[in-house]
Structure 1
Amino acid sequence: MGSLALSRVDLADPAPTIADEVARLARRELAPLASAIDAGSVYPGAFLRGLGSLGAWSSHVPQEGPADLCCAIQSIAALGEVCGATAFMAWCQNTLVWYAANSTNMKLASRFGDGFSSGRVLGGTGLSNPMKSFFGIERLKLKGRRVEGGYIVRGALPWVSNLGPDHYFGTIFEREDGGVAGEEPDGIARGEPGTVMFLADCSDPAISLQPCKPFLAMDGTGTYSVQFRDVFVADELILAAPAAPFVKRIRAGFILLQTGMGLGLMRDCINIMDEVHAPLGHVNRYLPQQPLQFRELHAEFEKEAMALARDPYNEDDSYWRRVVALRLRIGDATVAVAHAAMLHCGARGYLKSHRAQRRLREAYFVAIVTPATKQLRKMLADG
């Protein structure tokens, strides 16, 4: 009797994971919205907030030191299998949570940590320009100076995503005055700041969101040009000063979370090729790229991503190079598999109503979002 009961337990389906629940909601609620999000007529704010109740934005929050990004990457991939734009916004939200969770500013963490990780407060990451700046591609576009209780910040960022009038995002300014040692707010690392990372509050009247020109894809991602007109940034909004050591701590997580976008999109492009196998397999077999090779590549990428995601604070150069190399390979493969899916579909994939053409347009975004393919190659070349 006991052995029979044990066998029943062994055969029982395991409890659904957070990623399983995200996938279920994506198929049921997100799939009908995907085309409208792509076209820019819908920003899925309510859906994103709802994911917070599942734990989609909190699974990677460090627990007494360690952090594990596996569940977050799997959840982003589940969304990416249905809608690349929403997977990108999920990355934005998860990255915002990652910033707050790693800040030593306890006032900021207590004020925003739960709001971000629960999805009650949405937002994004304004590190496109700073990430390029740290690797010698651009100059920082925001400037700031110290005043009593905070900083005054001015400048403009051309593209920041997952924003709205009540959203937040993290970004970095360069100090015009260079900084004086010891004047940083409590809880922030001491030293010559040079650069400061902070949370920007989109509801601040001195911050304005300007809609961008239409994109090739993913127009419903809440992407704006952001103007800072002498914005007062209180000490309670400072993530890190100086910013560089903080960026080094969070950079692996920043990039690894992006792998979910590519993994999800790859999986759906493989599905598309499988779907047209019955009617078109007799001629598609002559195409050089087949679903089997992409399935094997996807499995390889997923295994490497999960291994790296369990140790995001690893400071070894070899680990960092593995992170960058994986992100580069996923970007290249995402474009390749989406291209192959279009060729497998033939004329039917060329219809606006078919998702194959949307997946191809989304795939190019995976290759150009910061850090883009060319920046990743530069990073590896620079060592």
Structure 2
Amino acid sequence: MAVAPSTAARSIELPAALADWLATHADALDTSPALASEVVPRLAGAGLFGAGVPEALGGSGGDVRDAIEAIAAVAERSLTAAFVFWGHRTFIEYVLQSPNQALRERWLAPLLQGEIGGATGLSNAMKFLSGIESLQITATPLASEQGGWRLDGGLAWITNLRKEGFIAAAAVTSSEGAPPAVIAFRSDAGGTERSADLDLMALRGSNTAAVKLDGVHIGEADVITHDARAWLPAVRPAFLGMQCGMSIGLARASLGAAHRLCTVTRSGLLGRVESLQAELARAVGQMHEGVADGRFKSAAAPLFRLRISLADIVQQAVMLELQGSGGRAYLMNHDRNFARRWREAAFIPIVTPSLTQLQMELQKQAAAAGAA
């Protein structure tokens, strides 16, 4: 994996073997779970999970911007693989930002090597942070010699719940009034039940399922943070920034295709395509600057607006690709990549936090500022 210097704009070049595999199997990953087990090992084999992870901890160095660009590079070929990448790499970020050294020592190396799937599980928590949703899992302290906590509840939608084994993060509320915490639970823990894969209309190779926890025991070594309210805002820029990598890559792919088409058959659209490419580059630059200087940790609104803007650019990009193709886009033997990107683009506005949720939060912030 080639990573640009940390002071420059990021540029990730995928290893040829991985790029070819993604190009060959992008449709299958989108429409079938048959290859779901291969995604994490192939991304790990290419060294992608180490993007933005300190070299001293086994990564390839850089910072979150490198992870964003690596996810974007994968999303140009397959949003399904990028979705898995985001979930796994976001969990790695939780381990990196956790004050729990034991957690880091136990799980970071297996996660970087793809030996176990990492699942972010904190979409519910991010909505909780914005007052949109209550926490879905309760932690009850155990008085036995084991100590620790009992987990009960569930999450309706988590990606990268690998059937071969996973570790997932979740925010939990205390049965005794302690502050909400963020914990990690494993697929092999007694009482953890994974549902069948959700019946998605696309991204079916992403190991996306629901999970139910019934009396799952965790200990202190499984606690990511004891204070979710203080910790979540600090990790949110990485969570959302890497999530935006999916939009960036998909928009680049559609705009690249549209540009090639317009230079041949629809030259009248070329100016619009190039204008949107410039708009995308500006948004990416703003994302890089915000995650690098830390401004998004104290001011979430600009980050929310960037997520909304990038989602809008994706919708415009696939529309320009459609217009550049014309009626040929409806021919199955013309370019199956367009049909897949059209389905992939439908997912961008609804991945949690959805555009509707972000817009609601921005309205709340604006109303609060107006009342102050």
Q: TM-score, normalization: structure 2? A: 0.87
- State the alpha-carbon separation in 1 of the partners of residues 206 and 103 from structure 2: 26
Are the aligned partners of 2:190 and 2:217 in contact in 1 as well (CA < 8 Å)?
Answer: no
- State the alpha-carbon separation in 2 of the partners of residues 211 and 235 from structure 1: 30
Q: CA deviation digits over 1:325-357, x for unaligned, max 9?
A: 111110111122112212322232224452112
Per the TM alignment, residue 17 of structure 1 is displaced from its structure 2 partner at its CA by: 2.8
Whether 2:21 is the aligned partner of 1:39: answer no
Alpha-carbon RMSD across the aligned residues, in angstroms, is: 2.5
Match of 1:161 among 159, 175, 180: 159
Task: Return the index of the structure with the highest Cα Rg.
Answer: 1
Cross-structure match for 1:29: 21
Distance 1:197 1:48, change over 3 A: same
Cross-structure match for 1:191: none
Greater displacement, 28-37 / 299-308: 299-308
Distance 1:32 1:67, change over 3 A: closer
Whether 2:82 is the aligned partner of 1:125: answer no
For the residue of structure 2 that corresponds to 1:51, the secondary structure is helix
Q: CA deviation digits over 1:333-383, x for unaligned, max 9?
A: 112211221232223222445211211211121211111111221222233
2:195 aligned partner, one-letter code: Q
Cross-structure match for 2:193: 208
Cross-structure match for 1:329: 309
Match of 1:253 among 215, 227, 238: 238
Are the aligned partners of 2:250 and 2:345 in contact in 1 as well (CA < 8 Å)?
Answer: yes
Match of 1:111 among 106, 111, 116: 106
Are the aligned partners of 2:39 and 2:81 in contact in 1 as well (CA < 8 Å)?
Answer: no
- State the alpha-carbon separation in 2 of the partners of residues 229 and 289 from structure 1: 57
Greater displacement, 102-111 / 332-341: 332-341
1:371 aligned partner, one-letter code: P
2:286 aligned partner, one-letter code: E
- State the alpha-carbon separation in 2 of the partners of residues 309 and 76 from structure 1: 15
- State the alpha-carbon separation in 2 of the partners of residues 42 and 32 from structure 1: 14
Are the aligned partners of 2:92 and 2:118 in contact in 1 as well (CA < 8 Å)?
Answer: no
For the residue of structure 2 that corresponds to 1:300, the secondary structure is helix
Cross-structure match for 1:184: none
Show the 5 A alignment for 1:236-251: 236-251=221-236
Cross-structure match for 2:341: 359
5+ residue gaps, structure 2: 5-10, 366-372
5+ residue gaps, structure 1: 1-14, 180-193
Whether 2:261 is the aligned partner of 1:276: answer yes
Show the 5 A alignment for 1:1-383: 16-17=2-3, 20-22=12-14, 24-61=16-53, 68-148=63-143, 149-165=147-163, 166-179=165-178, 194-277=179-262, 280-281=265-266, 285=268, 290-312=272-294, 315-317=297-299, 320-352=300-332, 354-383=336-365
Are the aligned partners of 1:67 and 1:311 in contact in 2 as well (CA < 8 Å)?
Answer: no
Per the TM alignment, residue 23 of structure 1 is displaced from its structure 2 partner at its CA by: 5.6
Are the aligned partners of 2:89 and 2:118 in contact in 1 as well (CA < 8 Å)?
Answer: no
Identity over the aligned pairs, expressed in percent?
Answer: 24
For the residue of structure 1 that corresponds to 2:188, the secondary structure is coil
Q: CA deviation digits over 1:165-204, x for unaligned, max 9?
A: 311111111112213xxxxxxxxxxxxxx21211120122
Distance 1:341 1:313, change over 3 A: same
Per the TM alignment, residue 228 of structure 1 is displaced from its structure 2 partner at its CA by: 0.7
Are the aligned partners of 1:240 and 1:246 in contact in 2 as well (CA < 8 Å)?
Answer: yes
Per the TM alignment, residue 314 of structure 1 is displaced from its structure 2 partner at its CA by: 5.7
- State the alpha-carbon separation in 1 of the partners of residues 345 and 305 from structure 2: 18
For the residue of structure 2 that corresponds to 1:153, the secondary structure is strand
Are the aligned partners of 2:259 and 2:274 in contact in 1 as well (CA < 8 Å)?
Answer: no
Q: CA deviation digits over 1:55-105, x for unaligned, max 9?
A: 3212323689x9721111111111010001111111111101000011111
